[in-house]
Structure 1
Amino acid sequence: MTTPTESVQTTSTQWQRLSPWSVLHFLFLQLRQSVSFAIYVIPAYVVGGHKLIDSEYFPLLLLAMGAGWAISSVLKYYFFQFTVTDKGIAIRSGVLDRTFTDLPYERIQNVKFDQPFYFRFNDLRIVTLDTAGSAKQEAHFAGVTSAYAQFVKETVMRAHRQQSATTTEESLSSTATDEQLLNERSIRDLILHGITNNRVWIVLGTLAPFYEQISGFIFRQMNALRPQAEAWLGEQVVALWYVGVMSVLIAIVLLILMALFSIGGSVLMFYGYRLTRQGDKYIRNSGLLNRQEVSMKRTRVQIARQQQDWLDRLLGRVNLYFEQNVTGRTNPNELKATHKLLVPSVTVAESDELTSNVFSAQQARHMNFEPIHIRFFWRQLMLWILPLTVLASIVSFKVLGVTGALPPLLILSAMVTLTYLRWQRWGIASDATYIYVRKGIIGIDYWCFPLAKVQQVEVRQSLFMRRRRLSTLGFVLASGRVKIPFVATDFASPLIERVLYEVEVKKPGWM
């Protein structure tokens, strides 16, 4: 039995242990779980639990819990073993409930490195094996050296190259060792990313100097309307109304405090951001306290998404996502997801250049898009906007009288404007290699994916759509489903035929 630090970096059937420092990792996981559990325990203790447990025994209770965590962490380290063989990676873990995980190399889609703050001083890593078709990351081992982590990654990549039928040129490209720097993010870029991805705090922050005046105005209006409201609703309901307004004001203050953490979170997650290319692999390194390394093969990229919301558009920034297989997954946090590679808050020119690096000759921002039909707008208006406006008007008139006409009109105007902008933004285009989708409301997102990556085409028509020769298209890729409603059948039919020809006749590999 050896540790990765001691063992020779070759594949073998010998079981190995993690570094003894991995006890810190298991201890940290238990502390994190205990904090989540404490959210429920502490209120119960404050309400009545302190009567059952004498305060003088509380330090002893904490000491016993700490000793239990330490013993459990040592046992988890002792019973955790793994081996890297010629066929795959096997892991044995668990103290009482023993688990054996066998991962053939063909199932391993990605190898991710993490370096938490408690591993920084001795340069140890957490290796996560991300498997295709899994709802979670099935295996990881914490506490191996950087050299051994790189050895595991190279072993997996070498097995993939041997199993795939690639050309000699592709093989030489994939074994290249020189890294090409594609993009770096400065602190200023990360601050902009934190701002643009939590927009609510900007509106609330600009109103902060006026909160006293705003709250005073609200309460004066409430006092003026109180007699009329009590006549309509009764004193008890009006009292609840006051409580509701106070709750809203408190919630606004809390939202400001919570949203201000966005910038700090952006810096913590993406500090030292570097995107490099090594052969046909893209590698992202980032993180202030916890360093992360995520790699993605170029051939596995299913779709490139240039996301530009209203504030991104105002600042001339784009969040660029490259997405690969997500079969069987839930929707994890996009910042931490291993199936997505995010380049935060790049300029429009940088976004276009990086997208072309993955999908050569793409023209997402330069295509003439086929707009969806205007019936999409009228459908949203008749089915949702007008009925909700009528309902809001009835309630508003009953409570406020004639003055109640203004809020529903403002809401109606805003909803109609946003729906019209949404219809105007939505479009689809294609060329000989790629399909492009444009969508958004105030901002505009561009989606680009090769015809060869499409696994399935869905065509849906209601009775009314069939009469108008309209269709709702759905393109199913390994990264998910892309939907475009109310597309003219004259445009959709030739596109579907081209996609099916590409998939059925040429039979390209989508992975």
Structure 2
Amino acid sequence: MRRLHTLSAVSMALSGAISGLLLPVAAFAILGESVEGIDSSWVFVVAPLGLAIGVGYGIARYYRFSYELTAETFDVTSGVLSVQSREIPYGRVQNVDVRQKLVHRLFGVAVVSIETAGGGDTEATLNFVAEDEANRVQAEIRRLTAAIEADDGDDTRPAPSTEADTSAGDRTDSAEPRAARELLFELEFRELLLYAGTAIRPGAAIFPLFLLLVLTGDPTSLVPESITELSLVALSAIGIVAWALATSAISAAYTVAGYYDFRLERDGNDFVYERGLIERYSGSIPVEKVQSVTISDTLLQRLFGYASLSVETAGYGPGDSSGSQSTVPFAAESRVYRFAEGIAGVERPQFTSHPAMARRRYLARYAILATLVVAAAFLTAQVIGLERWYFAAVAFAAVPPAAHLKWTHMGYYVGDDHLVIRRGFWRRETTVIPYFRIQTVTTRRSLFQRRLGLASLVVDTASSRTFTGSVPTIENMGLEDARTAHENSRKQLQRTLRDRARDENVGLSPEMA
């Protein structure tokens, strides 16, 4: 059994000290005001005691935490008052990620996260181990997982490498050699800059607004009291432009920091990636456990002929671990489709368009949204005295093109081995789902869909989520088409499961890149 790096003891002791010190202070601050007989000066006696208990508890957590790589499982023991022992079978491991923030890199340590198919939470986290030890754990788990999957029924099991036992704080020579890997993709600096300029990250839009609120306290104070309506419109336009520029700059900086020096390599049937400037990520993605493949591109990226590719494994969606499932973050569209063909075995499909009735539904939906915009402008006018609030009705002019663009960029393909779903305009996503990965297929109809003769086909995999955070769905199909696709998916699932049992040859060669 191995222990964490000695820096973990310092971190746990510091965390315990903060909790042990703040809890008595908060308790006496509350009770001293509401309960008679409690002298607030007692806090100077109790707080040091809480500090000592917190430090002791943190150190005890460090000494009670241990881990071990056995022949069949990764074992973790933790807990002070209640001891918890976990055995994680290698066959259930989906991903092994190594993360290093700037402070981790300065001290030569890393955080190892082990994900299984059991859900969105991390099954085990080693926080912290030496950098070489993190690489050793990652490489050993991948090696043992691959060996167990390749086992043809023998009773023998692969054993962990029998290197000399060293403390977790020391550096080891057991990290996997880079020469054993095959380089599949490397993000060039020119591509990184183009990616940063075309990527859209919704989270970046919140920061400028938050910063404005913090700096001004009340953003409305920036508006003069005697401003004219025309000046208010101009000021609003300037504010929107400034907000868009700030959002773009923050999004670009985040992209550069997150995907600097991105490399994708192959080791056997695993994809191994590394990326990051300030915070460094390293992880492995077993090809055999990929549930779906998604090709995505924004409007700007389509104009330049670029796209990205992400994969999803069971219990580990793209929203987890900072979205570290990106396999090809940015490349020429033709190259991305070659990767998709190598991983999922599907070429560019001929999509089936949705019925015109679906466009009518989106037209009604966006008309309702435009009505809400006009209503919001009217209510705002009642507060600030804006007379020409009805100019907001221009939103109705955007309704027909918005409905048409959404409709034209939707499609689906029911192939022999895969179900392909395409949706989105500003950010278009094409999700490829092999039939043998499908768990359930459900036909869903809302009240409005029943009136229009439409239906939605919900395709559930073991991961149960896509890169937009929802289950893959073919929305607003014709009812008969939905029933046909449902039945075909069920039949193809049974067929591919039989074929899969005879042929397990899946992978990606460097030549395909």
TM over 0.5: yes
Instruction: Assess, with a 3 A threshold, how the Cα gap between structure 1 residues 225 and 407 changes in structure 2: closer, same or farther.
Output: same
Matching residue within 179, 182, 189 for 1:180: 182
- Aligned mate of 1:280, from 269, 288, 312: 269
Q: 1:253 to 1:358 in 2, by over 3 A?
A: same
SS of the residue 1:120 aligns to: helix
Compute the displacement of 1:144 (Å). 3.5
Retained in 2: the 8 A contact 1:277–1:283? yes
Which residue identity lines up with residue 484 of structure 1 in the other structure?
I
Q: For residues 189 and 200 of structure 2, what CA distance do their matches in structure 1 show?
A: 15
Could you tell me which residue of structure 1 aligns to residue 308 of structure 2? 319
Tell me how far 1:490 sits from its aligned partner: 4.8
CA spacing shift, 1:393–1:146, aligned 2, 3 Å: closer
Matches of 2:16 and 2:301, distance apart in 1: 39
Matched residues in 2 for 1:405 and 1:124: separation? 60
Deviations 1:424-481 (A, max 9, x none): 1111113322222221124532222222222211112457756866432111112322
1:425 aligned residue (399, 409, 420): 409
Q: Secondary structure of the residue that 1:189 maps to in structure 2?
A: helix
For the residue of structure 2 that corresponds to 1:350, the secondary structure is helix
Does residue 197 of the first structure (1) align with residue 196 of the second (2)? no
Asked whether 1:307 is paired with 2:296, we answer yes
1:97-150 alpha-carbon deviations (Å, 9 max, x no partner): 544333233332222222343443564433221121223102112343455444
Contact 1:182 1:354 (C-alpha < 8 Å) held by counterparts: no
Cα–Cα, structure 1 residues 315 and 464, in superposed 2: closer, same or farther, change >3 Å?
closer
2:34 maps to which residue?
none
Aligned-pair CA distance for 1:417: 1.9
Q: CA deviation at 1:363?
A: 1.9
Aligned pair count?
440
Q: Distance in 2 between matches of 1:350 and 1:422?
A: 26
Cα distance between partner residues in 2 of 1:426 and 1:112: 34
CA RMSD of aligned residues (A): 4.8
Residue equivalent to 1:19:
5
Residues 393, 404 of structure 1: 8 Å contact kept: no
In 2, the alpha carbon distance for the partners of 1:310 and 1:140 equals 38
TM-score by length of 2: 0.69
The corresponding residue for 1:446 is: 430
Counterparts of 1:182 and 1:30, CA distance in 2: 45
Gaps of 5+ in 1: 1-14, 45-51, 169-175, 205-214, 227-241
Q: Which deviates more from structure 2 when the two are superposed, residues 265-274 or residues 292-301?
A: 265-274
Distance 1:191 1:30 in 2: 43
Query: Judging changes above 3 Å, is the alpha-carbon distance between structure 1 residues 62 and 257 closer, same or farther for their aligned structure 2 residues?
Result: farther
Once structures 1 and 2 are overlaid, which stretch shifts more, 460-469 or 372-381?
A: 460-469
Deviation at 1:396, TM superposition (A): 3.6
Offset from partner CA, 1:310-340 (integer Å, 9 cap, x none): 22223433232111113xx7x77466245x3
Taking structure 1 as reference, are residues 301 and 492 closer, same or farther at Cα in structure 2, changes over 3 Å only? same
Which residue of 290, 302, 310 corresponds with 2:279? 290
In structure 1, the partner of 2:492 is: 502
Whether contact under 8 Å (1:418, 1:441) holds in the other structure is no
The answer (yes or no) to whether the contact 2:358–2:454 under 8 Å persists in 1 is no
CA-to-aligned-CA distance 1:231-279 (integer Å, 9 cap, x gap):
xxxxxxxxxxx9xx99998898678657633333223322221001112
Deviation at 1:294, TM superposition (A): 1.1
CA change 1:222–1:129 in 2 (3 A) is same
Offset from partner CA, 1:50-86 (integer Å, 9 cap, x none): xx999xx99xx99999988866654432232222223
Q: From 450, 472, 483, give the equivalent of 1:482.
A: 472
User: Structure 1 residues 258 and 464 mapped into 2: Cα distance closer, same or farther (>3 Å)?
Assistant: closer
Which letter maps to 1:283? V
CA displacement at 1:483 relative to structure 2? 0.8
8 Å CA contact 1:421–1:442 kept in 2: the answer is no
Structure 1 residues 75 and 503, CA gap change in structure 2 (3 angstroms): same
Q: State the identity %.
A: 21
**Residue matched to 1:84:** 69
The residue number in structure 2 matching 1:345 is 330
- Whether contact under 8 Å (1:177, 1:278) holds in the other structure is no
Deviation at 1:94, TM superposition (A): 3.5
Whole-Å Cα distance in 1 between the matches of residues 249 and 454 of structure 2?
Answer: 45
> Against the structure 1 CA distance between its residues 66 and 370, is the aligned structure 2 distance closer, same or farther, given a 3 Å change threshold?
same
Q: Alpha carbons of 1:416 and 1:23: their partners in 2 closer, same or farther (altered >3 Å)?
A: farther
Q: 1:385 — aligned with what?
A: 367
Q: Which residue of 2 aligns with 1:112?
A: 97
Flag the 1:247–1:491 CA change in 2: closer, same or farther, 3 A.
Answer: closer
The answer on 1:460 being equivalent to 2:450 is: no
1:139 equivalenced with 2:124 (yes/no): yes
Aligned counterparts of 2:99 and 2:376: Cα–Cα separation in 1: 56
> What is the CA–CA distance in structure 1 between the aligned matches of 2:368 and 2:105, rounded to whole Å?
58
- Give distance in 1, aligned partners of 2:375 and 2:121: 47
Deviation digits for residues 165-187 of structure 1, max 9, x if unmatched?
7779xxxxxxx983221111234
1:370 counterpart residue number: 352
| Residue pair 2:201, 2:251 contacting (<8 A) in 1 also | yes
Distance 2:386 2:252 in 1: 44
> Letter of the aligned partner of 2:261 in structure 1?
G
Distance 1:29 1:433, change over 3 A: farther
Contact 2:265 2:271 in 1 (8 A): yes
**Alignment-derived partner of residue 48 in structure 1:** none
Separation of aligned partners in 2, 1:354 and 1:158: 24
Q: Is the 8 A contact 1:371 1:424 kept in 2?
A: yes
**Secondary structure, in 3 states, of the residue corresponding to 1:102?**
strand
Aligned 8 A contact 1:125 1:143 in 2: yes
Distance 1:497 1:105, change over 3 A: same
Contact 1:452–1:499 (8 Å) recurs in 2? no
Give the letter aligned to residue 184 of structure 1. E
1:353-389 Cα distance to aligned partner (Å, 9 max, x none)? 22122123x223xx32111112122223335524852
